[in-house]
Amino acid sequence: MRNDNKKSCPRCNHYGPIEQDFGYRIMNRRHVRPQSWCRACRSRAKHLLVSLPPKQTISR
């Protein structure tokens, strides 16, 4: 397996190396999955989530 695999962002169609532009989500020691959205989209989505009113957050 090559280490420089690339993918495109389903949100903004940005295409680039996963490690650099997307990053990985580490579930545990053996489970690492690439982020589906690029870093820019994730930071935007994070901003949107933060701006939601507290009532709409998922309760545990």
Chain contacts with Zn ion (rule: CB under 5 A) = 9, 11-12, 14, 38, 41
* Cβ nearer to Zn ion, comparing 18 with 41: 41
* Cβ nearer to Zn ion, comparing 12 with 26: 12
Sign of CA pseudo-dihedral 50, 57, 35, 16:
negative
* Cβ nearer to Zn ion, comparing 9 with 31: 9
8 A C-beta contact, residue 14 and residue 8: yes
CB-based contacts of 3: which residues, under 8 Å, 6+ apart?
19
Comparing every residue's Cβ against Zn ion, the nearest one is 9
